[in-house]
């Protein structure tokens, strides 16, 4: 066996700590336990802005004034309308298909009819990003309803992004409080540096592939349980635990048997995910408001036990999991919801990549055999 010239001293498994690019979009600061979108603290945005403002901020580079926001909202609401032909194609998908698989297929399908399909200019990519941000919510809602044997609900142009998604999913206008909490989770999920799905999108488009191809790559990456799928697994874990009185013993046993505890730890944050801190209080409030305080109580004991035993704190997926459960959102669309929030971030990274592109092509350390002689087939 031989080792290539690339030094093992410079190798970092999983590229941990490796600088792979320059961005103006989001800044993960572990030292200060903070996350910023284009210089704005995530907590400030979640408390005061709406998802549409944050999506505009990432795509266009600044917070919108009222006229800009109105125009952006008009564009989003226009994009929400899926054609009858497109809906019929969604209906042709297997009813038991994974929701991320159908989302991935739907986005690939959208690329075929996008009016800017052959235009990869900055302006065209901004238009594509805006359309996709509007389309994603409609696709996720329609896919789920179709999987349940129900007809998709047409979007309501009078509703904001978060409200409209809940309306299209449940076929009734949501409580304003629930819509606001949901909107905050979308803001928390919108971007997060060079995470796996974002990096996959940038790698794809660094080849000068198109924006839709980058988004398809991102969806496939987000599907994994170590990335977007963690919120679904975290809720399944809480359901398995069942009640606060069983939480501590469950965690102790899980740790002893090396069982993966989902929704905890983050490569970037060693002293806690600011998004989890942000959403935790709202998760508690929501839990009490809907008369199911046991979910926050159970989650709190799990978190306290993990901190005491392993010094590991929750990430954003942990409070989001039971926030969505308390909102009666189906568990199998938690990851697609993550995607419909993150699409604005993915698109913005793709635009940034293409605006100053360099093919992403890292080296690898070779440790295989060397200088083997070919043996003819009849001698093997």
pLDDT of residue 5: 56
33 confidence band (pLDDT: 50, 70, 90)? confident
Quote the pLDDT of residue 32.
82
Q: Compute the distance between CA of residue 73 and CA of residue 158 in angstroms, rounded to an integer.
A: 10
* pLDDT at 367 (0 to 100): 86
Q: Which residues participate in catalysis according to the annotation?
A: 227, 266, 317
pLDDT score of 163: 97
pLDDT for 182 beyond 90: yes
Specify the pTM. Answer: 0.92
Task: Give the Cα separation of 257 and 158 in Å (integer).
Answer: 51
Q: Which of 51-65, 165-179, 267-281, 311-325 shows the lowest per-residue confidence on average (mean pLDDT)?
A: 267-281
CA angle 248, 287, 336 (to 5 degrees): 90
Question: What is the chain's mean pLDDT, rounded?
Answer: 93
Alpha-helical runs (H) found in the chain: 42-48, 51-60, 66-79, 84-92, 99-113, 122-147, 161-170, 176-189, 196-206, 211-222, 230-241, 244-256, 274-289, 293-310, 317-326, 334-355
pLDDT in tens, 92-134: 999 889 999 999 999 999 999 999 989 999 999 999 999 999 9
How would residue 6 be classed by pLDDT, with cut points 50, 70 and 90?
low
- Smallest CA-to-CA distance from 340 within 171, 162, 214, 173 is with 162
* pLDDT grade for 2, boundaries at 50, 70 and 90: low
> Rounded distance, CA 151 to CA 166, Å?
15
pLDDT attached to residue 189: 95
Span 127-145, pLDDT tens digits: 999 999 999 999 999 999 9
Describe the crossing of helices 317-326 and 293-310 by its angle, rounded to 10 degrees. Answer: 170
Determine phi and psi for 26, rounding to 5 degrees: -145, 150
Taking every pair of C-alpha atoms in the chain, what is the biggest distance, in angstroms?
77
User: Which residues face 264 on adjacent strands?
Assistant: 314
Q: Which CATH number fits domain 230-326: 1.20.1260.10, 1.25.10.10, 1.10.230.10, 3.30.420.40?
A: 1.10.230.10
Locus of tokens 């961005």: 23
Decide the pairing of beta strands 26-29 and 34-37. Answer: antiparallel
pLDDT at residue 30, rounded to an integer: 78
Length of the chain, please?
380
Whether residue 280 has pLDDT greater than 80: yes
Domain 41-224+333-355: give its CATH architecture: Orthogonal Bundle (1.10)
Percent of the chain with pLDDT over 90: 83
pLDDT over 90 (residue 7)? no
Q: Where are the domains of the chain?
A: 41-224+333-355, 230-326
- Distance, in Å, from the CA atom of 279 to the CA atom of 184, rounded to the nearest integer, reads 8
Helical axes 66-79 vs 122-147, angle rounded to 10° = 50
Q: Rounded to an integer, what distance in angstroms lies between the CA atom of residue 266 and that of residue 268? A: 5
Cβ-proximal residues to 79 (8 Å cutoff; 6+ apart), any chain: 130, 131, 132, 133, 134, 135
Phi, psi of 324 (to 5 degrees): -65, -40
């Amino acid at each position: 066996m031989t080792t290539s010239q690339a030094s093992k001293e410079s190798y970092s498994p999983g590229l941990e700590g490796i600088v792979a690019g320059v961005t103006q979009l989001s800044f993960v600061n572990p030292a200060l336990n903070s996350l910023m979108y284009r210089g704005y603290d995530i907590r400030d945005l979640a408390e005061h802005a709406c998802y549409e403002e944050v999506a505009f901020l990432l795509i266009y580079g600044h917070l919108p004034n009222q006229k800009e926001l109105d125009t952006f909202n008009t564009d989003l609401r226009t994009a929400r309308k899926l054609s009858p032909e497109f809906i019929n194609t969604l209906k042709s998908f297997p009813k038991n298909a994974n929701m991320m698989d159908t989302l991935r297929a739907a986005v690939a399908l959208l690329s075929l009819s996008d009016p800017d399909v052959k235009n990869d200019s900055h302006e065209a990519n901004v238009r594509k990003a805006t359309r996709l941000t509007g389309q994603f919510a409609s696709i996720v809602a329609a896919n789920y309803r179709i999987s349940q044997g129900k007809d998709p609900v047409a979007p309501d142009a009078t509703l904001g992004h978060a409200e409209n998604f809940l309306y299209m999913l449940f076929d009734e206008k949501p409580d304003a409080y629930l819509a606001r909490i949901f909107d905050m989770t979308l803001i928390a999920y919108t971007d997060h540096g060079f995470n796996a799905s974002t990096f996959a999108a940038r790698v794809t488009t660094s080849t000068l592939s198109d924006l839709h191809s980058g988004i398809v790559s991102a969806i496939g990456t987000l599907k994994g349980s170590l990335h977007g799928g963690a919120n679904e697994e975290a809720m399944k874990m809480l359901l398995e635990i069942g009640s606060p009185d069983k939480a501590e013993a469950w965690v102790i046993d899980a740790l002893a048997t090396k069982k993966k505890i989902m929704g905890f730890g983050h490569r970037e944050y060693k002293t806690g995910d600011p998004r989890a801190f942000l959403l935790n209080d709202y998760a508690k409030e929501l839990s009490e408001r809907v008369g199911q305080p046991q979910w926050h109580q159970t989650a709190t004991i799990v978190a306290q036990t993990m901190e005491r035993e392993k010094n590991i704190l929750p990430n954003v997926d942990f409070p989001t999991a039971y926030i969505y459960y308390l909102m009666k959102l189906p568990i199998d669309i938690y990851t697609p919801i993550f995607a419909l929030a993150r699409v604005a971030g993915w698109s913005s990274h793709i635009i940034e990549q293409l605006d100053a592109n360099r093919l992403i092509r890292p080296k690898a350390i070779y440790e295989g055999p060397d200088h083997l002689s070919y043996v003819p087939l009849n001698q093997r």
